Amino acid sequence: MNEQLDDILYAPIEPYDTGTLIAGEGNRLYYEQVGNPDGKPVVFLHGGPGAGVSAWHRRFFDPSVYRVILLDQRGCGRSTPHASEPRADLRHNTTWHLVADLELLRRNLGIARWQVFGGSWGSALALAYAQAHPGAVTELVLRGIFTLRRHELEWFYEGGAASIVPDRWEDFIAPIPILERSRLMQAYHRRLSDPDPAVHVPAAIAWSKWEASNLTLRPDPSLVASMTSPREAVAFARIENHYFLHGGWFEPEQLIAGVDRIRHIPAVIVQGRYDVCTPAMTAWDLHRAWPEADFVMVPDAAHAASEPGIAAALRAATDRFGAASRSTEAETQTALSDADSAR
């Protein structure tokens, strides 16, 4: 984390609770809670899919106001079985398994309704969850909008982005023979599924480096290094590739077409104008379908939540919803006090 982000986000904080959610099909999901145990509930949905949560993700929320729940989705982070392991089976790792996991976690923690905060893949999962369970969501904070439509996936993984970053694209396609480059996601799938580490590890590192190198407007070598260590890269690449080959198990345009189910939910959409991974066209499509949601185009940012302009916009959104919650609480307390006085 750089010093500029330290000035934007809340101070580092440790969990007051950690646990394991028994999610079915042999999956055990790590979760943690930070902040105020009696505060406004919010669940943080990480990206990827397959990226896992990091300690700095806790810092978007005022710890005096929020009860923050963070979890590692199936197959990644501290959840088991880890997708880097030979025994890992991704057949039960789909969007709809993750939606069910979130609902199970909410109920197990005794939470009636919560704010849902998600970026990149997390924005797709947040939209899918909210559209499936609109009554459980108080607000949505979405960043780097990604809906897994075919043209979004083809842009980044089948050659569109090469027009902007041709040097990085050459590194991405290097492990794939020329005759297989017309369907790169499938070519990578064959290598990522190979049981031989000499095959799947280099492929996973190339896949993960391609994404990591394009997350920020300016190069961030520390971010690239963190995403290309072999164990994390294998899980990340395998899970992403699995989801992308299946289009997230969404119908075409499903998440944008489903906005009517969540139109009433207060929301903020934050998008970096120069996002190569999830170009602004998708956020704009969502904005046009959902003009009631606040839309923030950050002029000097790409994709990552760690970029200062994006981080500031995300914190502003959580602060705003937190302040609104406090005002409602104060009004309720005043009403109860007036009612007591009138008796």
For residue 233, what are the contacts with CB-CB under 8 A and spacing of at least 6?
Answer: 201, 204, 205, 207, 208, 209, 227
Phi, psi of 270 (to 5 degrees): -115, 130
**Residues facing 69 on adjacent strands:** 33, 43
What's the start-to-end Cα distance of the chain, in Å? 55
Tokens 């599924």 belong to residue: 193
Tokens 């934007």 belong to residue: 8
- Could you tell me which of 136, 125, 137, 135 has the C-alpha nearest to residue 250? 125
Tokens 């969850």 belong to residue: 129
Q: How would DSSP label each residue in 78-97?
A: T-BS-TTSTT--GGG-SHHH
**Residues facing 114 on adjacent strands:** 137
Supply the DSSP symbol for 138. Answer: E
What is the number of alpha carbons within 13 Å of residue 305 lying toward its C-beta? Answer: 27
- Could you tell me which of 102, 99, 214 has the C-alpha nearest to residue 163? 214
Active-site residue, selected from the candidate residues 57, 275, 287, 306:
275
Is 303 a catalytic site residue? yes
Question: In the chain, which ranges are E strands?
Answer: 17-24, 27-35, 40-45, 66-71, 114-119, 137-143, 267-272, 294-298
The CB density around residue 104, as the number of other CB atoms within 10 Å, is 15
Is 208 a catalytic site residue? no
Is 101 a catalytic site residue? no
Q: Tokens in use for 20?
A: 């394991």
- Could you tell me which of 270, 261, 252 has the C-alpha nearest to residue 313? 270
Q: Tokens in use for 165?
A: 């970053």
Give yes or no for a contact between 296 and 323, defined as CB atoms under 8 angstroms apart: no
Alpha helices in 183-307, H assignment, sequence order = 184-192, 197-213, 221-227, 230-245, 254-257, 280-289
Active-site residue, selected from the candidate residues 120, 208, 213, 306:
120
Active-site residue, selected from the candidate residues 46, 82, 133, 303:
303
Residues taking part in catalysis: 120, 275, 303
